[in-house]
Amino acid sequence: MKTFKGGQHIDGFKHLSREMAIKTLPLPSQVIIPLSQHTGAVCEPVVKKGDMVKTGTLIGTSDKLISSRIHASLSGVIKDILEYNHPILGQAQAVIIDSDGNDTLDSAIVKRTKIELLSKEQLLEIIKNAGIVGLGGAAFPAQVKLNPLKPVDTLLINGVECEPYLTCDYRLMLEHTNSILKGIVLMQKIIGVETVIIGIEEDKLEAIKLLRNKCVEKKYNIEIVCLKAKYPQGAEKQLIKAILDREVPSGKLPFDVGVIVSNVGTAFAVFEAVYNAKPLYERVVTVTGKCVKQPSNLKVRIGTRFKELLDFCQGFTQTPGKIIMGGPMMGMSQYTDDLPVIKGTSGILVLSQKEVQEFSQGADQSCIRCGRCVNICPVGMLPYALSLCVEMNKLDKAAQYNPFDCIECGACTYVCPAKRQILSGIRLIKAVTR
């Protein structure tokens, strides 16, 4: 099995939700759709209070190159456009839609035929209009990523899902195998590459088997590579290193070494946009944690409140200590459950008070120079040195340790026996330097 240098196997707690087939959450009575859910420029609303919209109607757009369109996720009336809680930005402008209960589709959502006749330019336009972003984490606009500035020779599809607890990509691979493969073939056509490889960790053997069989059956020229289960195997640069043995230099991007990396969820969204003319107004979210009564994988409308997902999962088994959007390593803690699901919401994780205490008790002790953070860092950094810069309030000195190479995987913080908040420090250094 292929892998990269550094990293470590982390107990995944995936058993909580991996056998839970995707269920559709009942339609919410209201959605809150932020106008910023992606990397790049914030969208401007193209609707106003009182307007009627249908499911899939465009409600926000931007004329900037790096941005992604936003659509209504149910039919109804625009109740308001105002600042609302946002799981990443804290607060952001959002369009509030009250459902009419009918879920009437926008007239533009009609199944397409003769897909094979669509040109690269037409496919890119469809993806842009559908507001597709990378669903693996960064929510980068797909139409920009799939049209790189330099020639590339390989499309890598990320089916790793190395973040503990999360299983939404795994369920997608099992339940929507054909659609994902069709989406990948479309991306292959857009980029114009021969080589397509899907990387999946060894702990998802059912998905590996299923995808391999389908590729043989449908005669797709796609290779499935089994990777060692190790965190953070799903990080772009680590995936490229493991599968292709190419190193993305500091400050460069995958296309600088001839590669485009895309997530299986994105491939599914591309399929939906092209074949079904469906904008990205819903996604699969893993709701999990020992604290959740019924961990689940749910197909939910963008803009649905976290609280509704948690209620659908029958609430909590004990008092929650922390609610996180995403997984425990790279996710973001939230201060309320009155937050909308956005395009980048792969999971909602609830940790108990006991679990949180175990990790936070006795935090931030002195560094004992054990070197564990150095050994685990997948990009070969000196995390302890950056952490000491923060402790001594010498942020200017931190530049020599290349803080911007940090992919914020959190592995150093995870292994530190002194429970130093290394990643928080690195984020601070980055923010101050910027």
Applying CB under 6 A, the residues found at the interface with ligand SF4 are 367-373, 376-379, 381, 383-384, 387, 406-412, 415-418, 420, 422-423, 426
- The nearest distance, CB 162 to ligand SF4, in angstroms, is 12
- The nearest distance, CB 329 to ligand SF4, in angstroms, is 9
- The nearest distance, CB 362 to ligand SF4, in angstroms, is 13
Name the residue nearer to ligand SF4 (CB basis): 376 or 398. Answer: 376
- The nearest distance, CB 406 to ligand SF4, in angstroms, is 3
Name the residue nearer to ligand SF4 (CB basis): 46 or 415. Answer: 415
DSSP β-ladder status, 347-352 and 320-325? antiparallel
Name the residue nearer to ligand SF4 (CB basis): 11 or 116. Answer: 11
Name the residue nearer to ligand SF4 (CB basis): 56 or 383. Answer: 383
Beta carbons of 422 and 387 less than 8 angstroms apart: yes
- The nearest distance, CB 247 to ligand SF4, in angstroms, is 15
SS3 per-residue string spanning the chain? CECCCCCECCCCCHHHCCCCCEEECCCCCEEEEECCCCCCCCCEECCCCCCEECECCEEEECCCCCCCCEECCCCEEEEEEEEEEECCCEEEEEEEEEECCCCCECCCCCCCCCHHHCCHHHHHHHHHHCCCECCCCCCCEHHHHCCCCCCCCEEEEECCCCCCCCCHHHHHHHHCHHHHHHHHHHHHHHHCCCEEEEEEEHHHHHHHHHHHHHHHHCCCCCEEEEECCCECCCCHHHHHHHHHCCCCCCCCCHHHHCEEEEEHHHHHHHHHHHHHCCCCCEEEEEEECCCECCCEEEEEECCCEHHHHHHHCCCECCCEEEEEECCCCCCEEECCCCCECCCCCCEEEEEEHHHHHHHHCCCCCCCCCCCHHHHHCCCCCCHHHHHHHHHCCCHHHHHHHCHHHCCCCCHHHHHCCCCCCHHHHHHHHHHHHC
Name the residue nearer to ligand SF4 (CB basis): 334 or 375. Answer: 375
- The nearest distance, CB 372 to ligand SF4, in angstroms, is 4
Name the residue nearer to ligand SF4 (CB basis): 283 or 420. Answer: 420
- The nearest distance, CB 169 to ligand SF4, in angstroms, is 21
- The nearest distance, CB 379 to ligand SF4, in angstroms, is 5
Whether the upstream peptide bond of residue 232 has omega within 30° of 0, thus cis, is yes
- The nearest distance, CB 110 to ligand SF4, in angstroms, is 45
Name the residue nearer to ligand SF4 (CB basis): 182 or 241. Answer: 241
Name the residue nearer to ligand SF4 (CB basis): 109 or 373. Answer: 373
- CA angle (176 as vertex; 106, 272 as ends), nearest 5: 25
Name the residue nearer to ligand SF4 (CB basis): 330 or 350. Answer: 330
- The nearest distance, CB 208 to ligand SF4, in angstroms, is 26
Name the residue nearer to ligand SF4 (CB basis): 131 or 328. Answer: 328
Rg (CA), the chain: 21
